[in-house]
Amino acid sequence: MDRPCEVKDLVEDLRGNGGGIDPLAFELKSIMYGYGRLGLFHDLQRVVDQMKRGGFEIDTVCTNMVLSTFSTHGEHMEIVSWLKKMRSSGISFSVRTYNSISNSCPIITRMMAGLNELPLLIEELNVRLEGGEAIVVKELLDSCVILEEVMVWDSSEAKLDLHGCHLGSSYLIMLLWLKEMRRRRRKVEKKKESDF
Q: What is the per-residue pLDDT across 77-114, written as a single tens digit (0 to 9) for each?
A: 999 999 999 989 989 888 899 999 998 899 898 888 87
> Which ranges constitute the DSSP H helices of the chain?
4-15, 25-37, 41-53, 60-72, 76-89, 95-102, 106-114, 122-128, 131-142, 146-150, 167-195
% of residues, the chain, pLDDT over 90: 30
User: In the prediction, which pLDDT does 113 show?
Assistant: 83
The average confidence (pLDDT) of the chain is 85
Cβ-based burial of 59 (10 A; exposed 0-12, middle 13-18, buried ≥19):
middle
Looking at residue 81, its pLDDT comes to: 93
- 34-48, 134-148, 173-187: least confident range: 134-148
The yes-or-no verdict on residue 73 having pLDDT over 90 is: yes
Residue 52 DSSP one-character state: H
Q: Distance (Å, rounded) from C-alpha 64 to C-alpha 55?
A: 19
pLDDT at 14: 57
* Residues 146-153, mean pLDDT to the nearest whole number: 78
Q: Name residue 8's amino acid.
A: K
- The model's confidence at residue 182, banded by pLDDT at 50, 70 and 90, is confident
pLDDT given at position 49: 94
Residue 116: pLDDT above 80?
no
Please determine, for residue 118, whether its predicted confidence score (pLDDT) is greater than 80. Answer: yes
| pTM of the shown model | 0.81
What gap in Å lies between CA 184 and CA 94, rounded to an integer? 23
